[in-house]
Amino acid sequence: MYHVKQADIVIIGSGAAGTMSAIYAHRADPGLKVVVLDKSKMETSGGAGRGMDALNTVALPPYSQPEDVVELMTKVTEGILDQQVAYRFGEICPRMVADLEQIMEREKGDLFPVDENGNYRLMYLHPIDKPLLLPMDGEEMKRALAHAVRQTGAEVMDRTPAIKIVTSGGKVCGVLAVNIRTGHYYYIKTKAVCLTTGAAGRMGLASSGYLAGTYEFPGCSGDGYAMAYEAGAELVNMECFQANTLLKDHQGPSCGYVAAPRGAYTVNPWDERTWSHGYSSGDSKMGAWKRFTQGRGPIYLKMDHLDEQMIQIIEKIQWGNERTSRGLFHQSREQNYRNAHAVELAFAEEVGVCGGHSSSGVLSDTTGVSNVPGLYVAGDVDGGLPHSYLGGALAMGGLIGEEAAHYASGIPEPEQRTGLKAWLRKEAAEFEAPLGREGGLPTSLVEFKARARVQYYLKPPKNPVFLEKAAWWMERIRQEDLPRIQAVSLHDLFKVQEIKSILTVGEMMARSSLFREESRWGYQHWRVDMPAKKPEWEGVWVVIKKGEGGEMTLAKRQSPAHQWEYPTSMEYAYPDLEFDTGPMFQKGPEWKNPKDDPWMKAHLDAQGMATPRRFMAKEEN
């Protein structure tokens, strides 16, 4: 069944950013019709669905200023950013924090800790001299945000993922979505879209062994990246991969951002620290990688030196918020925070891309708009604001809601294509094709294959042969497997769409990594054939966009000149990979594949077999 609807703003993804977009859009202009789509359920969806224990990066005076956010971001992106966007985020942090307290109906000092003067008490984590981490008792955050969104009167469509952002004349004009429980299709005519679909976090295979056992919320399968790309948006930093140090097998956060600001750090079995700071940037990932590849792993989160009270605080936070199955997990593994070498971490088991944890996504400016008029982005899918985590999603989510409202209030209804119904029928038939297919490939099998290729060929260190192979595999799976895939339920059907997103994002990761002919951001873009930063790539984005003929185009673009002079590098070196393997087998001049290998002959004789022909050396002419 098809339904055509009308809206001023469609918000795609009601996670942290999307819910704030809806709230701010309504505040900016209560007369606007806002539709909120989510493939999941607004009250519980996204990275923060079960709660969150900190805003990892925020600037709150007097402890830290917007400039400090600029300093951090300049440093960890090695200078490749628009500092004005970072500054804008820093500026609006206080209003976001105040709003969150009000939305969650919490007193000052209750949701976030304050000091004796009533100032928010930030903690140190980042590789700069200012505190930017704000602890939070945020278990109920998503429920409160969802409640506030429902109160605005916005039309909330849960379990209704968007599958296409439609443009006319290069501007946003509609969104196509399908309800995965009813199978109904919706075409929503709209002036603006807030794209807040989160990370591409279901890329490389997770070591949990489950396709959904990822670090990121598994619903964040890169749909936003793929939809924006198809709609003509520009994406950047797709070569700057996210690869985390995680709880071995569980794939949950390593607990570092809770424990590190409270005195913990990561060590190997010889108690050598893996890196000088606990912040997850390319240099520290390189440190972790080295430990493992030198056979000097595993890595442990060291907490046994902390006093009992601190350990209990960490336990309370870790087990009661965010990924609460952590407590059960530690218990089942007999991991006690009080013991040395208790909490085992694994590194880089799954590669992916994310704007919030790293810097990959749709390029946006200080108003959150992309190059496509009417298409606004925020949160993990946003490549314009790097390393901003939940604080960035909430603050910039609000900002784009406001900006989209101003934009939508000021323009007429966009033109729509002619023959809308016929087009809709065609799109729906294409989307549904896997449902009717008898005896096709199971979705889980195809997803496994795509993600196994991503993990094998894209995981750094990178080289051009691997990268080419990754791109080749994405295309091959698209051509060979997608036409044969079979979905057995509506629930299953959407996975086909997610696989398409994974293939598009995988190709972007490969092509972007090939294009950037240097190494940068430590482990995140380490090309062994070019293991150094190059001056011609300083401040340069790799911009990916869909070309006129449907091909993936890549271009260099200088990011805006810096207004603040901060260091644009971290201290690390690329390892020298010329491992000495000693003298290897050498063919002497007399050596040739013997016709009657005595060793083989003896074995075959013993088994009473004749020497098979395929074991024989070719007769030399």
Ligand X SMILES: Cc1cc2nc3c(=O)[nH]c(=O)nc-3n(C[C@H](O)[C@H](O)[C@H](O)COP(=O)(O)OP(=O)(O)OC[C@H]3O[C@@H](n4cnc5c(N)ncnc54)[C@H](O)[C@@H]3O)c2cc1C
CA–CA dist 272, 205 (Å, integer): 29
**Minimum distance of ligand X from residue 50's CB (angstroms):** 8
For ligand X, the closer of residues 184 and 533 by Cβ is 184
Q: Check: CB of residue 68 under 8 Å from CB of residue 59.
A: yes
> Rounded CA gap, 275 and 283, in Å?
8
- Compute the least distance from the CB of residue 97 to other proteins, in Å: 25
> 103: phi > 0 → left, psi -120 to 50 → alpha, else beta; which?
alpha
Q: How far is the CB of 184 from other proteins (least distance, A)?
A: 16
Looking at beta carbons only, is 58 or 343 nearer to other proteins? 343
Instruction: Tell me the C-alpha distance between 80 and 72, whole Å.
Output: 12
| Contacts with other proteins, residue ranges (CB under 8 A) | 40-41, 43-46, 49-50, 159, 180-181, 208-214, 217-219, 249-251, 323-325, 328-329, 332, 442-445, 488-489, 491-492
In the bound state with ligand X, the residue whose beta carbon lies nearer, of 250 and 462, is 250
β partners of residue 35: 10, 155
Buried b (16+ CB within 10 A) or exposed e, 327-337: eebbeeeebeb
CA quadruple 455, 456, 462, 468: dihedral positive or negative? negative
CB of 27 to other proteins, least distance (A): 27
Nearest to ligand X of 215, 466 (CB atom) = 215
Q: What residues form DSSP beta bridges with 556? A: 542
Cα gap 25→38, rounded to integer Å: 17
- Partner whose footprint covers residue 56, from ligand X, other proteins, none (CB < 5 to 8 Å by kind): ligand X
Q: How far is CA 373 from the centre of its chain?
A: 24
E-strand ranges in 54-169 read: 54-55, 134-135, 155-157, 162-168
The residue (of 394 and 446) whose beta carbon lies closer to ligand X is 394
Q: Which of ligand X, other proteins, none interacts with 54 (beta carbon under 5 to 8 A by kind)? A: ligand X
- From the CB of 39, what's the least distance to other proteins, in Å? 9
Pick from other proteins, ligand X, none: which does 89 bind, CB < 5 to 8 A by kind? none
Select 39 or 291, whichever has its Cβ closest to ligand X. 39
The angle at the Cα of 253, spanning 144 to 61, to the nearest 5 degrees, equals: 60
Minimum Å gap between C-beta 159 and other proteins is 7
CB of 328 to other proteins, least distance (A): 6
Q: Which is nearer to other proteins, 48 or 570 (CB)?
A: 48
Q: Which residues pair with 3 in a beta bridge?
A: 186
| Residue number, 381 or 385, with CB nearest to other proteins | 381
Taking alpha carbons only, the member of 260, 259, 266 closest to residue 285 is 266
Residues that bind ligand X (CB under 6 A): 12-18, 37-40, 45-48, 52-56, 161-162, 196-198, 215-217, 219-220, 223, 252-253, 257, 322-323, 356, 379-380, 389-391, 393
Burial 93-110 (b: 16+ CB within 10 A, else e): bbebbebbbebbebeeee
Q: Which is nearer to ligand X, 56 or 179 (CB)?
A: 56
How many residues does this entry show for the chain? 621
Looking at the Cβ atoms of 81 and 514, the one nearer to ligand X is: 81
Closest CA to 224 of 18, 51, 82: 18
Residue 264 Cβ, how far from other proteins at the closest point, in Å? 22
Q: Which of other proteins, ligand X, none sits in contact with 268, Cβ below 5 to 8 A by type?
A: none
* Shortest Cβ 363–other proteins spacing (Å): 29
Residue 329 touches which of ligand X, other proteins, none (Cβ within 5-8 Å per kind): other proteins
What CA–CA distances, in Å, run from 605 to 544, 614, 615, 617, 618? 62, 16, 14, 18, 21
Question: Considering CB distances under 5 to 8 angstroms, the limit depending on partner class, which of ligand X, other proteins, none binds residue 53?
Answer: ligand X
The residues that bridge with 299 in the sheet, in sequence order, are 345
Q: Which of 51, 61, 66 is nearest to 122 (CA)?
A: 61
Of 21, 20, 84, 16, residue with least CA distance to 56: 16
* Least distance from other proteins to the Cβ atom of residue 32, Å: 27
How many alpha carbons lie under 13 Å from residue 227 in its C-beta half-sphere?
A: 33
- State the binding partner of 210 from other proteins, ligand X, none, CB within 5 to 8 A by kind: other proteins
Least gap, CB of 495 to other proteins (angstroms): 9
Q: Binding partner of residue 328 among other proteins, ligand X, none, CB under 5 to 8 Å per kind?
A: other proteins
Pick one of ligand X, other proteins, none as the site partner of residue 489 (Cβ within 5 to 8 A by kind): other proteins
Instruction: Give CA–CA dist 224/222, Å, rounded.
Output: 5
Of 394 and 543, nearer to ligand X (C-beta) is: 394
> Residue 586 CB, nearest distance to ligand X (Å)?
51
List the single partner that 350 binds among other proteins, ligand X, none, CB under 5 to 8 Å by kind. Answer: none
Q: Which does 250 bind (CB under 5 to 8 A by kind): ligand X, other proteins, none?
A: other proteins
Q: Which does 220 bind (CB under 5 to 8 A by kind): other proteins, ligand X, none?
A: ligand X
CB-wise, 3 or 491, nearer to other proteins? 491
Three-state secondary structure readout of 35-78 = EEECCCCCCCCCCCCCCCCEECCCCCCCCCCHHHHHHHHHHHCC
